[in-house]
Structure 1
Amino acid sequence: MRLNRSNLCIKLFVKRKSLDDARRSCSQTSARLVVLDTEEKNTDVGEYIKGTKDTATYLIGLTDVKEEGRFVWENGKDVVFSNWYNSQPDDNTGKNCVVFFPTTYQWYNYPCTDQKYICEKRF
């Protein structure tokens, strides 16, 4: 799906994969896990998923895998814009990934277990 306002194409993947496998899947098409680094992008992606009527969580390109408690985007940048759900992130050492809830457009830190995921590619 092309998001004109954000100058990117996104693709939702419903086959659940781990963080590493989702990254590999995205990179096979020269894409990456989605970086929701602005309110505009966060809203655009949420609106698109909401339109599909899917209410499941989706893995996004934000983790604290390298350093517990320091969340970094797939593009290597620190978080400036955020949309964490109340009490998130909750600093649980088993939760190094972040998922996006399309019903609220909010983020939760979550284990890096098999999840649906979103890839993005600039155009």
Structure 2
Amino acid sequence: MRMKNRLGVMFLCLTFRTSATQCGLVPQQRYHLLSEFNNLNMTNAQCISELKPRTLLTCARACLDTNNCTMFNINNNDGQCLLFSATFLSEINSSPLDGARMYGRVSDTCPLADGYVTFDNPTACYRLSLVRKTWMDAKADCEGDGGHLVVLEDVDKQQQVMEATAAIRDTEAVFVGLGDIDADGKYVWVDGRDLVNPFWDSGEPTLFGNKHCAVLYNHGLHASNCDIPSYYMCQIDTTMMVKWKPFLMMFSS
């Protein structure tokens, strides 16, 4: 059935069942077609599972049931279903794949259209900017979105972000919300917390030169000059309101 808003909805529930598990009650999820990646194989993405054959709905359900899955790719030609953890997609790292369609999970609080993706545990929205800015300009850009430069005090979050940026860290530095601008050698996150769980790369931080802002580079954090334009990552803190209702999945494009 076609609808004006181009939403496809699947609704399955037997009303006489009493338990949430029996009735298939799960959080409402919405997936958005990332049309700019149509017919592309995202070779840099963090694939966590490969399934086939699948339909659009069963691939989406598999993503919903898989821990840390926030994106999936369904091939309209052969039904191949690829599940991905949170990753930052770029056409730079791709190859042609006819029939491929990439979908990303969206929420009311993550502006996917602006390049943000959802990471879980804890849930927040993240955007990797491939436009180089100074640290202060990057900070202002993130704050303009209602967020801040990324804070990576949580060890699990460190691992997720390191995996999601693996394709670029060997050649590009990425500003994060960490620096010792106010007190030399005392690194503080932009949310005011001290750096308690450091993951500096070997030999870092260097204590010489005008290096007071931290970047992700190679295998961990590096101290960098705040005025050298670099890529950067923004974060929008959010608590996703889980609305329990019969299995409901929506797609938009």
Aligned length: 119
In the alignment, the residues of structure 2 paired with residue 92 and residue 32 of structure 1 have an alpha-carbon distance, to the nearest angstrom, of: 27
* CA displacement, residues 11-70 of structure 1 (integer Å, 9 cap, x when unaligned): 0001110111001100111010000102111111112223xx323220000001111111
* Runs of at least 5 residues in structure 1 that lack an aligned partner in the other structure: none
Query: Which structure 2 segments of 5+ residues have no match?
Result: 1-116, 239-253
Name the counterpart of 2:144: 28
On the 8 A contact 1:34/1:60 being kept in 2, the answer is yes
Structure with the higher helix share, 1 or 2:
1
**Over the residues paired in the alignment, what is the CA RMSD in angstroms?**
1.2
Runs of 4+ in 1 over 4 A off after TM superposition: none
Residue of structure 1 in register with 2:168 after alignment = 54
Return the alpha-carbon distance in structure 1 between the equivalents of residues 134 and 157 of structure 2: 23
Residue matched to 1:114: 229
Under a length normalisation based on structure 2, what TM-score does the superposition of the two structures give? 0.45
SS of the equivalent of 2:121 reads: helix
Q: Residue 200 of structure 2 aligns with which residue?
A: 84
Q: Distance in 1 between matches of 2:184 and 2:206?
A: 11
- Mapped partners of 2:143, 2:178: distance in 1: 16
Out of 113-122 and 89-98, give the one that drifted further: 89-98
Q: For the residues of structure 2 that align with 1:10 and 1:92, how far apart are their CA atoms?
A: 31
SS of 1:76 mapped into structure 2: coil
Partner of 1:10: 126
Percent identity of paired positions between Structure 1 and Structure 2:
26
Superposed displacement of residue 84, structure 1 = 0.5
8 Å CA contact retained: 1:68, 1:93: no
Counterpart position of 2:157 = 41
- Is the partner of 1:6 in helix, strand or coil? coil
